[in-house]
Chains A and B, each alone.
Chain A
Amino acid sequence: MSCEHAESTTLLWLDGEAPEAHDLHVAACAECQEVIDGLERVQHALVPIAAALGVADVAATVQVNNGFHFARWGAALAVAASVLLAVRFMPLQAEVDVPADTDLASVQPLLPISNSLYGDLDAGLEDLDVALDSLAWDLNTL
């Protein structure tokens, strides 16, 4: 094949995904015409047998793959949610049993709570945001 479009753009053009102007090229290009003619004849011959061509197998393959995709994201979201819940309900300040004979005046004041815990919480939320964005993108591209 000497026409660079015969095996690429011209097939894409059938999907309406190539510029409309490509039909002018196809109309004038013998190789592209040959490809279109061949495809048209094959497609015509296939119409009565399409149901028997193993479509169910193909559909099942696609569904299995999509199912795997959703299962993977579902698991990721479940893990992210678990982490967030665990962090959310984790006691921020441990209770301390103080012996009765303790001299309270000698007890050191509590240290400020580390910001790292909030940092973890933010990171968890960011992870969840990323996971949700990815899931939304997947849904849009299905």
Chain B
Amino acid sequence: MPTSAPLGQHIERNQHDLLVFLSRRAPREAEELAQETWLRVARANPSFQDESSFRAYAFTVAKRLLIDHYRRSATRVSLVPLEGGREPSSNSDPLGAACATQTLRVVQDVLDGLKPELAEVFRLRTTTQMSFRAIAAHQAVGLNTALGRMHQATKAIQRALNQQGLLPEVVQ
């Protein structure tokens, strides 16, 4: 039976890849997110016998932190008043601005086509700090119903963005 490597060795072997992964998605916060990831991993101190399991675990923790980071970023962005109507945030990169405009159109089309209660869960979840429990209470439905609505809405948006080539690729 193989012996599990010490946590420090696992971290050392995956540190670079994790930082690259986070830098692609959140360049400015990558180091902070990486540190938080390793802190959480160290706190949980899981024992893995193979490198791939540890790597999958570490990247899972990192993705969770990333999603939380996106949500917080989205909430901060939403607090900035928009000038000249509902346009995506101004961007000095014309390509980025064009992508954002197209993304907005696709997402709004999908949300308009969904049942209102599904669209509402998605909007609340992605652009506010409301938890699923709070959203469920707001909609007066059970927690699993709210979770299911979020799942359906996300799948629909993911499918539409994917068809338009607007989703970032999954690279680890």
A residues sitting closer than 8 Å to B (CB atoms) are: 6-8, 11-15, 17, 20, 23-24, 26-28, 33, 35-55, 57-59, 61-62, 65, 141
Contact = CB atoms under 8 A, between A and B. Distances in A.
Contact of B132 (A11, A20, A41, A52): A11
A49 B166 CA distance: 13
A46 B107 contact: yes
A59 B86 CA distance: 15
A52 B78 CA distance: 8
Contact of B170 (A8, A27, A37, A57): A37
Contact of B104 (A23, A52, A55): A52
Contacts, number: 159
Interface stretch (B1-9, B10-18, B136-144): B136-144
Interface string B82-118: 1000111101000010011001100110010000000
Chain A contact surface mostly: helix
A28 B56 contact: yes
A35 B120 CA distance: 20
B70 A43 contact: yes
A45 B73 CA distance: 12
A65 B138 CA distance: 8
A14 B69 CA distance: 11
B88 A48 contact: yes
Contact of B138 (A44, A50, A51, A62): A62
A62 B157 CA distance: 23
A52 B89 CA distance: 8
Given A11-B150, A24-B46, A48 B91 contact: yes
B88 A47 contact: no
B132 A27 contact: no
A51 B74 CA distance: 7
B30 to A, nearest CB: 13
A39 B99 CA distance: 19
B68 A14 contact: yes
